[in-house]
Amino acid sequence: MIPLEIKRIKTGITGLDDLMEGGFPQGRSVLVSGACGTGKTIFCLQFLYSGARKFNEPGIYVTLDERPDLIREDMLRFGWDLHELEEKNLLQIIDGSIAKIGIPSEEIFSLPVTGFDLDKLLLEIMRVSKRINAKRVVIDSIPALGFNYENENEIRKAILKLSYMLTRAGVTSLMTSEIDEASNRFGKYGVEEYVVDGVLVLHYMGVGTQANRTLHIRKMRATAHSEDLHPMVISKEGVSVHSIDDEYKQT
Ligand SMILES: Nc1ncnc2c1ncn2[C@@H]1O[C@H](COP(=O)(O)OP(=O)(O)OP(=O)(O)O)[C@@H](O)[C@H]1O
Ligand SMILES: [Mg+2]
């Protein structure tokens, strides 16, 4: 019998879970898409931090863009001590940020300097996942992954393999990508949005003299979700998602 109810994984991001039947479908993958500075990295780290702190669910953060030491430092601004979680095996960071340019990492978990290799990355994710019994995985970012390939076909194959392997491993995963405004794509390579089960779009738009952040649930398979553009705020507590009504109430 196919269960009517799908198991949900709470994001722990204030205001978001209620907009999608209580959370992401468990064991699926979701794309967090947006231009630079829209808050993708903070959003994803909050998913892992909340998962570990509130729900005792270990997570893995694969960074292909930023250096882990800087991420740890930046997240302290929100009061999130990633190092402490790492010591408790509730979080592990895999550093793929500099392997691609041939510089060795000082991190415990990293890719070898012999160049980027997707299979090695997958192996490392699976190894760490088994060790800490990971329930959540973040890949930040797909365009940085694409940097390692010469042609788009290879990149597409790599994205497909990555998403397939993560789903097969039973973890709930987030991947970040860029929006290609010109072609109305939600990912950079035109496949990300199709291989994932959900797409969240983050916008940072200027209206008059003010810039506003919004979050839009563009797709979430097997889920009745909000179709509105929701105001999103990054404060010293991290990311929170609001409804348009809340905003009106404040003014
Ligand atoms: N402590 C803070 N309080 C409020 N806003 C902050 C704080 N720290 C960062 N921000 C905002 O978040 C933005 C950075 O967010 P983040 O790094 O998650 O974006 P991103 O979408 O991952 O960007 P990129 O595509 O460059 O990786 C900053 O540009 C700033 O606007
Ligand atoms: Mg980022």
pLDDT at 95: 94
Q: What is the pLDDT of residue 209?
A: 87
pTM for this model (two decimals): 0.95
The verdict on residue 130 lying in a domain is: yes
Cα 5 to middle of ligand 2, angstroms: 33
Residue whose CB lies within 8 A of the most ligand 1 atoms, among 41, 70, 77, for a mutation test: 41
CATH of the domain at 86: 3.40.50.300
Q: How many whole angstroms from 40 Cα to the centroid of ligand 2?
A: 5
Residue 234: the pLDDT is 97
Q: Of the ligands numbered here, which is closest to the C-alpha atom of 232?
A: 1
pLDDT at 71: 98
Residue corresponding to tokens 């200027």: 206
Ligand 1 centre and the CA of 54: distance in Å? 23
Q: Is residue 113 part of a domain?
A: yes
Q: Is 1 part of any domain?
A: no
Is the beta carbon of 40 within 6 A of some atom in ligand 1?
Answer: yes
Task: Render the burial of 152-190: b for 16+ CB within 10 Å, e for the rest.
Answer: eeebbebbeebbebbbebebbbbbbbbbeeeeebbbbbe
Residue 227 belongs to a domain:
yes
Give the model's pLDDT for residue 2.
62
**Residue 37 CA, ligand 1 centroid: distance in Å:** 5
Query: What average pLDDT values come out for the chain (251 residues) when binned by 10 residues?
Result: 82 97 97 96 98 98 96 98 98 88 82 79 95 98 90 91 94 94 82 93 89 95 96 97 74 52
The residue whose CB lies within 8 Å of the most ligand 1 atoms, and thus the one to mutate among 97, 205, 234, 239, is: 234
Structural domain boundaries enclosing 226: 8-250
Site of tokens 């090695």: 120
188 in any annotated domain? yes
Rounded CA-CA distance 93/75 in Å is: 13
Whether 77 is in the pocket of ligand 1, judged by its Cβ within 6 Å, is yes
Tell me if the bond preceding 240 is cis, omega within 30° of 0: no
Residue at 241 is within a domain: yes
Assess if residue 53 is contained within a domain: yes
How many domains is the chain built from? 1
CA 85 to chain centre: 18
Helix (H, G, I), strand (E, B) or coil at 94: strand
In-domain check, residue 2: no
Closest ligand 1 atom to residue 78 Cα is 1
Q: Is 134 helix (H, G, I), strand (E, B) or coil?
A: coil
pLDDT confidence of residue 17? 98
Q: Which residue bears the tokens 């890719």?
A: 111
CA-proximal residue: ligand 1, atom 12 (nearest): 39
**pLDDT for the residue 167:** 94
